[in-house]
């Protein structure tokens, strides 16, 4: 009898211990659940869906050619003054003074030279002086035959050169050949570029982009689009700051923007960045695009002081 009572007591104590552990774990879990449920929604950068300029482009290369150029052969012993190169002269100004008479600029341009050379007929050394009108730069480029139907006179172009890494020079198509070259299967096209600041130098290698099929379409940042297989999604934010995942149809990409063909309307608010912190039907703390930089700068100032 005493033995059975002792066993019963042990069993009761065992179950009491298990019950205590379960109750303790439940209480701790509820405590942390309550604590973390009070955590504020994450700050997420949002942006407004608006019309953006989209286009397709043809990329090729060309060589910069001055609008007009001329050269003058000058004997060194004829010089009256020191030559000044890489300077701009207007039409009618003196390029160089010589004993036999001055050389007058037939048009406005930049004075340069090609170096020293040995005269063919005379043993004296001579200098070849050049004059280039580079306020407008031209370049003949070859366009692949399959683009011949979209290349039109007046289409805008952008050009880059290695000496100006972050600068874009604007121009347009000035002339289009009337036939395809049978050997290269290309269409000869001439472009002209505004060079009023005289930054481009004749002979420079140009990286040319021709823009065509330009249109205004709804656009969103490429950081806001989620690709799942062949489908694209964005998070659309409601007036209650709830992020809803919706499917959209996308078109071209241009300058960090993605063209939206359907699924959104102009003025809709979407998540622009921070997709990893967002999940469907979650509440967010919206931060307008651009405000995060101001907040970051403000914090830096506070920390500095």
DSSP result, 210-279:
EEEEEEEEEEEEGGG-EEETTEEEEEEE-TT-EEEEEEEEEEEEETTEEEEEES--TT-EEE-S-GGG--
Question: With 80 as the cut, is the pLDDT of residue 109 above it?
Answer: yes
pLDDT in tens, 136-174: 999 999 999 999 999 999 999 999 999 888 899 999 999
Q: What does the DSSP 8-state code read for residue 155?
A: -
* pLDDT tens sequence across 222-266: 999 999 999 999 999 998 999 999 999 999 888 889 999 999 999
pLDDT of residue 60: 94
Q: 41-45, 248-252, 297-301: lowest mean pLDDT where?
A: 297-301
Q: Which helix (H) or strand (E) holds 5?
A: helix 2-37
SS3 assignment for 78-134 = HECCCCCCCCEECCCCEEECECCCCEECCCCEEEEEEEEEECCCCCCEEEEEEEEEE
Please give the Cα distance from 129 to 74 (Å, whole number).
7
CA distance linking residue 151 with residue 38, whole number of Å: 60
Contact predicate 200/169, CB 8 Å: yes
Q: What pLDDT does residue 34 have?
A: 58
With beta carbons less than 8 A apart as the criterion, state whether 102 and 243 touch: no
Q: How do residues 95-107 score in pLDDT, each as one tens digit?
A: 888 888 888 888 8
Asked whether the beta carbons of 163 and 208 are under 8 A apart, the reply is no
Question: Is-contact 45 274, C-beta < 8 A?
Answer: yes
- Bigger pLDDT: 27 or 248? 248
| Domains of the chain (ranges, CATH numbers) | 43-54+216-291 (2.40.420.20), 65-203 (no CATH)
Report field, pTM of the whole predicted structure over 0.85: no
In terms of DSSP bridges, do strands 43-48 and 285-288 run parallel, antiparallel, or are they unpaired?
parallel
How far is it, in rounded angstroms, from Cα 246 to Cα 263? 7
Share of the chain above pLDDT 90, in %: 42
pLDDT at 115 over 50: yes
What is residue 4's predicted lDDT score, i.e. its pLDDT? 67
226 vs 3: which has the higher pLDDT: 226
Spatial separation of the C-alpha atoms in residues 61 and 140, rounded to whole Å: 9
């Amino acid at each position: 009898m005493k033995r059975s009572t002792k066993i019963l007591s042990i069993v009761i104590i065992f179950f009491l211990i298990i019950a205590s552990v379960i109750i303790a774990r439940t209480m701790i879990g509820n405590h942390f659940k309550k604590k973390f449920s009070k955590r504020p929604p994450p700050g997420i950068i949002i942006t407004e869906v608006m019309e953006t300029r989209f286009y397709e482009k043809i990329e090729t290369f060309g060589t910069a050619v001055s609008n007009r150029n001329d050269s003058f052969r000058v004997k060194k012993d004829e010089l009256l003054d020191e030559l000044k190169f890489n300077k701009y002269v207007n039409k009618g100004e003196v390029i160089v003074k010589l004993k036999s008479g001055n050389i007058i600029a037939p048009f406005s341009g930049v004075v340069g030279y090609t170096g020293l050379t040995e005269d063919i007929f005379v043993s004296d050394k001579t200098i070849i002086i050049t004059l280039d009108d580079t306020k407008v730069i031209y370049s003949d480029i070859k366009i692949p035959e399959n683009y011949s139907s979209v290349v039109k006179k007046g289409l805008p172009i952008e050009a880059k050169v290695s000496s100006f890494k972050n600068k874009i020079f604007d121009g347009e198509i000035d002339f289009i050949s009337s036939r395809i070259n049978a050997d290269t299967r290309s269409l000869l096209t001439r472009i002209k570029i505004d060079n009023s600041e005289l930054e481009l130098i004749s002979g420079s290698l140009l990286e040319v982009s021709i823009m065509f099929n330009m249109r205004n379409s709804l656009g969103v940042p490429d950081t806001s689009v989620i690709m799942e297989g062949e489908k694209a999604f964005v998070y659309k934010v409601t007036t209650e700051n709830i992020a809803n995942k919706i499917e959209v149809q996308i078109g071209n990409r241009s300058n960090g923007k993605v063209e939206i063909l359907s699924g959104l309307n102009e003025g809709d608010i979407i998540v622009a960045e921070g997709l990893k912190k967002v999940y469907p039907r979650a509440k967010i703390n919206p931060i307008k695009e651009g405000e995060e930089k101001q907040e970051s700068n403000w914090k830096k100032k506070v920390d500095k002081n």
